[in-house]
Amino acid sequence: MANTGAGTVYVDASAGSAQSADPHADEIRRPRPFRSQGAGRDYARACFAARSGHANAHPRAISYRSAHGRRLIRGITLIIDFHTHIFSPQICRNREPYLNRDAWFGLLYSNPRSRLASAEDLLAAMDVAGIDKSVTFGFAYADAGLCRETNDYVIDAVHRYPHRLIGFAAVNPRELAEAAREVERCAAAGLRGIGELTPAGQGFAIDDMKVMGPLAEAARQHGLPILLHTNEPVGHVYAGKGSSLPWEVVRLAQQFPDVVLVCAHWGGGLFFYELMPELLATLKNVYYDTAASPKLYRDRIFRVGMEIASDKLLFATDYPLLSPHQFLGRLRVSGLSGADERRIMGDNARRILHIAD
């Protein structure tokens, strides 16, 4: 971190100098060639085959851009990853102090093999996978000061890469008025959502209206979606699974029906209950991201999910937990129609984020 007098500039040691403004501010970057293995290779070849008509051709043989500067992947012109995490280069180089300052961070990242990624790492992964934009945020610490610190880095990254990154603000709802003030600060700085909130790590329940009420009201005032960590109530136990349950989201949605709620990790299966007629109205502004899906479900969930809630599913990787190009490979060979691919990969997210054509 370097103090330049004009604000804080985060320095990536791998780059050797302070990162300047996005040099490609007027265009979507051309992705690097795919370096694909397994399903990722299938994805790359499927993209090329769909565009060229040659089923066995290699993707490196073609340009990934159309004449007007956007890729054509079976009609998909914008791919948005709705769930990624970034950390300042300082934290990436030395996480040790933070392991002791936040128990949930320590649980997830005490293993040196648990990867941390900077904004530049994320952009490189996006370029390899052919992802145009990513919703990104830091870590939902229990401490309000650490939340401000991580938000400062996200604000800085979004200002440097405004055409690639869409920032969300991390706050602890238990801070009540302080959390609402941080939302206001971050919204004024250009962040466009709240989250990812982690109830177990931050010590609150999603349906505790004394805690969530002020935050939801702030979200409503600023027109911001709230991204919530949710988990499946059954199945294997893993670090960071948490204890938030689908019906807690239902209660919050009942109290704040006009606030957009995005449930991470398929909402712990909440999307299935959209088959119940009495929940359709309650869940009208509830969406579901696919973060970490390959670690949780068989790929058939993409087809099942699109059959139930095709306008509400959001492609999301949970980067750096998962590789975006490998995740896209799994999605692309899951058997979705072209129309469903367009919805889940970008169109649904564009509607939430108010991104024009």
pLDDT in tens, 182-225: 999 999 999 999 999 999 999 999 999 999 999 999 999 999 99
Q: What is the DSSP letter of 304?
A: H
pTM of the model: 0.79
Homologous superfamily (CATH) of 79-353 is Metal-dependent hydrolases (3.20.20.140)
Residue 297 has pLDDT above 90, yes or no: no
Asked whether 146 and 102 are in contact (CB, 8 A), the reply is: yes
Amino acid 294: pLDDT = 77
Asked whether 191 and 223 are in contact (CB, 8 A), the reply is: no
List pLDDT tens digits, range 62-79.
223 332 333 434 455 699
Asked whether 140 and 195 are in contact (CB, 8 A), the reply is: yes
Residue 2's SS3 state is: strand
Amino acid 234: pLDDT = 57
Comparing CA positions, the residue from 115, 72, 111, 76 lying closest to residue 92 is: 115
**116-130, 232-246, 258-272, 320-334: which is most confident:** 116-130
Within the chain, all domains assigned CATH 3.20.20.140 are found at 79-353
Instruction: Give the separation between CA 357 and CA 355, rounded to whole angstroms.
Output: 7
Q: How far is CA 178 from CA 78, 118, 185, 214, 235, in A?
A: 36, 27, 10, 10, 36
List pLDDT tens digits, range 274-291.
999 999 999 999 999 999
DSSP-H helix ranges across 225-299: 246-255, 277-280
Which of 23-32, 310-319, 336-345 is least confident? 23-32
